Structure 1
Amino acid sequence: MKKPLTNEHGEVRELTDEDFEEMRPMEKVLPAELQRTIRQRGPQHAPTKVKTTMRLSPEVIEHFKEQGPGWQGRIDQALKEYIEEHG
């Protein structure tokens, strides 16, 4: 008999090599429309942003992250507003 993946509390146990061998590919399990949303990012017409690395104070990061997902975009918007106001 196959050992259940979760216990009575719904916690997943540590997976074994045998568990991984029994797993099926995503293409055979998920509907095609869901596979597309998981694997595809969508058409990229032209890069609209430049990837960079910058150091910000912990207070700034914490402030924007507290507002939830999209915090990097909100920082970008705040910087654009600063540019408009200060030339």
Structure 2
Amino acid sequence: MNAKKLSGANAWVDPDDAPELTEDFFDRAEIRQGNQLIRRGRPVATHPKKQVTLRLDEDVLAGWRATGPGWQTRVNEELRRILERNAPH
């Protein structure tokens, strides 16, 4: 009376119907060692960031933070524009 019902069994799938394994597939694939997922980490940036300590006026910092998430990236972009504008030619 406690026998398993076969109606929920997975249907057989022909291996010839498997999707093509492309470079994109492998780029997004999980890497596992046995049953354990091995973390891949963050992608390597073309311009890696360096952590620094910088003292700013309180109102300047508050103003940038008030612009919302991503404010540090916007500060970086603005500093880059200033450097490019003032770079010796």
Greater share of strand residues, 1 or 2? Answer: 2
For normalisation by structure 1, the TM-score amounts to 0.47
Greater share of helix residues, 1 or 2? Answer: 1
Question: Which of 1 and 2 has greater Rg?
Answer: 2
For normalisation by structure 2, the TM-score amounts to 0.46
